[in-house]
Amino acid sequence: MSQSCFENQSIFEQGGFTPVSVGKRLRELRTHSGYSIKSLAEKSNLSVNTLSLIENEKTSPSVSTLEQLAKALKIPLSCFFESGDEKPHVIKTQAGQRSYMLLEDVRIEDCGLGLEGQPLQPLMITLPPNMETSSEPIFHAGYEFVFCQSGQVDYYIKEKKYVLHEGDSLVLSSVYPHRWHNPYQEPAVYLLIMIPGDAGELSGEVHFMTVADYNG
């Protein structure tokens, strides 16, 4: 049964966090780019019905679907967090007030994606317990900084396993194939800062394509 992206209340939706309306933001981005639903459906290889359901908040898009739309619109994934208003030069976000999206039970929180001219993507990620991801590694230009805030998360870089416990951090060149998952019984929360290879070019082809293969 389909439902709005933020109707499914869970342990990942507590506190005063501000949900992002993915459907509303998609409509804004589509119309700003001059696409009809039909033309965007063709460009993204998605159905008109799928786009209509997303824009009307009748279904939550998978991460792979969001990636397809980002590629079709030629925008970074971060644009789905932004409001379209003039970007500020400084952003302070109080605890419990970050905007977020839930994509197939993975909570992705905005840690300042609206900053003008930003050279990075700061995200707070919460992986549910027993998160299984695709065995296919990903790679992209730039660098990543990972800081495990709570729980444990496994990173595989060139198939070498790095287990991050609370307080552990990791810096990697993201051109090397990497993947991650949380096979443990507790949620894993970590800060992910992605720095693109070229300043101002924030690729949507980043971590969350593997989430689409989550078997909950």
Specify the range with the lowest mean pLDDT, choosing from 31-40, 45-54, 207-216. 207-216
- With respect to residue 123, please indicate whether it lies within any of the assigned structural domains: yes
133 confidence band (pLDDT: 50, 70, 90):
low
Comparison of pLDDT for 43 and 8, the residue scoring more = 43
- With respect to residue 148, please indicate whether it lies within any of the assigned structural domains: yes
CATH number, domain at 150?
A: 2.60.120.10
Q: Which helix (H) or strand (E) holds 38?
A: helix 37-44
Mean pLDDT, to the nearest integer, of 17-40?
83
User: Is the pLDDT score of 201 beyond 70?
Assistant: no
Quick: pLDDT tens for 58-110: 888 877 788 889 889 988 777 776 655 555 667 777 777 777 888 778 888 88
- With respect to residue 172, please indicate whether it lies within any of the assigned structural domains: yes
- With respect to residue 51, please indicate whether it lies within any of the assigned structural domains: no
Residue type, position 207, single letter: H
Comparison of pLDDT for 143 and 169, the residue scoring more = 169
How high is the mean pLDDT of the chain? 76
Task: Say what the pLDDT of residue 1 is.
Answer: 29
- With respect to residue 25, please indicate whether it lies within any of the assigned structural domains: no
- With respect to residue 67, please indicate whether it lies within any of the assigned structural domains: no
Task: Say what the pLDDT of residue 154 is.
Answer: 95
47 confidence band (pLDDT: 50, 70, 90):
very high
Quick: pLDDT tens for 149-166: 999 999 999 989 999 999
Best mean pLDDT range from 34-38, 52-56, 100-104, 165-169: 165-169
Percent of the chain residues past pLDDT 70, beyond the cut: 73
Helices (H) and strands (E) in the chain, counts: 4, 10
- Identify the CA nearest to 144 among candidates 183, 83, 190, 181: 190
Cβ atoms of 36 and 80 within 8 Å: the answer is: no
- With respect to residue 90, please indicate whether it lies within any of the assigned structural domains: no
Q: Name the domain count of the chain.
A: 1
Task: Say what the pLDDT of residue 85 is.
Answer: 55
Partner residues linked to 188 by β-bridges = 127
Instruction: State which residues form the domain around 110.
Output: 99-213
- With respect to residue 188, please indicate whether it lies within any of the assigned structural domains: yes
- Identify the CA nearest to 65 among candidates 48, 45, 81: 45
